[in-house]
């Protein structure tokens, strides 16, 4: 039986720090509300001219260097980060492969916004299981969605925590019927409710509303929520149940239950939702990573949280780590890794 393990991770944050006080000045939301309710002490902002392909390549090179691994050893490269990239109608993965020297890698790009991490874990696992010639898959993601925020648009206040950063993860194939595989990727699960597919978007620039002088003047190329009250009315009742259903599905496919979870690595959400997830999973508060110093970085968050937890020595052999995320559209996704 082919088994897949997460061999290494690495992360990257841009140098510039945007604290809650600065966000408060731009948005009019009191700093104590940002820190308390939003769970946001601050976030990192990409430098001018620093795009998702640059950040993804930076973190990929960091991982390869830490592993002492040559780019030629990468069999496949998967980009799973923000869909807002250097250019419209453009793939970041080929650029990242070129910048990192992974010239012999098969290249794949996923488009799953904020639920990217657990989806990428699933796809990389399945690639290695399905194709005999593949031994290593390097997954990379970056987000620069801070650039999409209009702090003067209260309809998008849920996105004021959007920050910038990147993560990389190396997956390798293990064969044979031996004993325990460290950091083994186990079960994964996804739930999608397409009734939310038009609730969050950048309105202009696509075929539904092509770019024009009028769309630029109206600031239609920034993130928007056409009906925030309607979305909240429909989304609030299903958010926690669907997060938990995704978690339960991944755990069931791993031969485990909620009580077996040792550590939670989720996306950055408001503090009350994070606390509710921790409580429902039966975890102590210190067994879940909360990214209040980075904000939300699209598909980056869960694997970034995992990298941070690992480097802090918070994970022990045998721990069951749950990666949990949700992305607009709306898809809830989970993956399980046994440390």
User: What SS3 class is residue 80?
Assistant: coil
Rounded CA-CA distance 247/239 in Å is 12
User: What SS3 class is residue 98?
Assistant: helix
Q: Report the pLDDT value the prediction gives residue 115, as an integer from 0 to 100.
A: 96
- Do 2 and 131 contact (CB within 8 A), yes or no? no
3-174 and 184-338 agree in CATH topology: yes
Model confidence over 73-88: pLDDT tens digits?
A: 999 999 999 999 999 9
**Which residues, in sequence order, are bridge partners of residue 295?**
none
CATH 1.10.3720.10 fits 3-174, yes or no: no
Question: What is the b/e burial string over 185-212, where b = at least 16 CB atoms within 10 angstroms of the residue's CB?
Answer: bbbbbbbeeeebeebbbebbbeeeeeee
Model confidence over 279-307: pLDDT tens digits?
A: 999 999 999 999 999 999 999 999 999 99
**Which residues, in sequence order, are bridge partners of residue 322?**
264, 336
* Angle (CA) 44 34 315, round 5°: 60
Residues whose CB falls within 8 Å of the CB of residue 282, separated by 6 or more in sequence, listed in order: 258, 259, 261
The closest of 325, 168, 339 to 261, measured between CA atoms, is 339
Counted residue by residue, the chain has a size of: 339
Q: Report the pLDDT value the prediction gives residue 175, as an integer from 0 to 100.
A: 77
Rounded CA-CA distance 23/197 in Å is 28
- Do 36 and 271 contact (CB within 8 A), yes or no? yes
Q: What residue segments make up the domains of the chain, in order of their start?
A: 3-174, 184-338
- Do 138 and 177 contact (CB within 8 A), yes or no? no
Q: Report the pLDDT value the prediction gives residue 176, as an integer from 0 to 100.
A: 66
Residue 32 parent element (H or E): helix 31-36
Model confidence over 182-234: pLDDT tens digits?
A: 999 999 999 999 999 999 999 999 999 999 999 999 999 999 999 999 999 99
Q: What is the phi/psi pair of residue 251, to 5°?
A: -65, -40
Residue matched to tokens 């030629």:
72
Work out whether the CA dihedral 125, 131, 132, 134 comes out positive or negative: negative
Residue ranges of the chain with per-residue pLDDT less than 70: 176-178
Look at domain 184-338 and name its CATH class. alpha beta
Rounded CA-CA distance 181/1 in Å is 12
Q: Report the pLDDT value the prediction gives residue 251, as an integer from 0 to 100.
A: 98
Rounded CA-CA distance 336/264 in Å is 10
Q: What is the pTM of this model?
A: 0.97
* Full DSSP string of 303-325: HHHHHHHHHTT---TT-EEEEEE
């Amino acid at each position: 039986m082919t088994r897949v393990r997460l061999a290494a991770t690495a992360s990257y944050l841009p140098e510039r720090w945007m604290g809650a006080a600065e966000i408060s000045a731009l948005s009019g939301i009191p700093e104590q509300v940002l820190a308390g309710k939003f769970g946001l002490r601050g976030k990192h902002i990409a430098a001018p001219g620093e795009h998702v392909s640059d950040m993804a390549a930076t973190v990929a090179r960091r991982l390869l260097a830490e592993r002492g691994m040559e780019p030629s050893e990468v069999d496949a490269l998967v980009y799973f980060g923000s869909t807002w990239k250097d250019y419209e109608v453009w793939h970041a993965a080929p650029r990242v492969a070129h910048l990192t020297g992974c010239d012999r890698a098969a290249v794949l790009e996923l488009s799953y916004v904020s639920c990217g991490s657990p989806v990428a874990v699933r796809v990389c696992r399945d690639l290695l299981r399905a194709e005999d010639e593949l031994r290593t898959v390097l997954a990379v993601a970056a987000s620069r969605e801070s650039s999409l925020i209009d702090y003067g648009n209260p309809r998008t206040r849920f996105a004021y925590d959007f920050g910038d950063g990147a993560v990389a993860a190396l997956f390798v194939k293990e064969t044979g019927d031996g004993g325990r595989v460290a950091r083994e990727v186990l079960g994964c699960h996804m739930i999608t409710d397409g009734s939310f597919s038009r609730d969050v978007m950048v309105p202009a620039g696509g075929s539904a509303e092509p770019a024009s002088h009028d769309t630029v003047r109206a600031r239609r190329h920034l993130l928007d929520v056409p009906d925030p009250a309607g979305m909240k009315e429909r989304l609030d009742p299903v958010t926690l149940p669907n997060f938990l259903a995704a978690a339960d599905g991944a755990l069931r496919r791993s031969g485990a239950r909620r009580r077996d979870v040792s550590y939670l690595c989720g996306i950055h959400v408001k503090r009350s939702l994070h606390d509710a997830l921790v409580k429902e999973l039966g975890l102590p508060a210190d067994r879940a990573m909360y990214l209040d110093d980075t904000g939300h970085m699209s598909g980056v968050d869960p694997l970034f949280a995992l990298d941070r937890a690992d480097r802090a020595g918070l994970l022990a052999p045998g721990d069951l780590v749950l990666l949990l995320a949700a992305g607009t559209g709306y898809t809830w996704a989970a993956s399980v890794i046994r440390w």
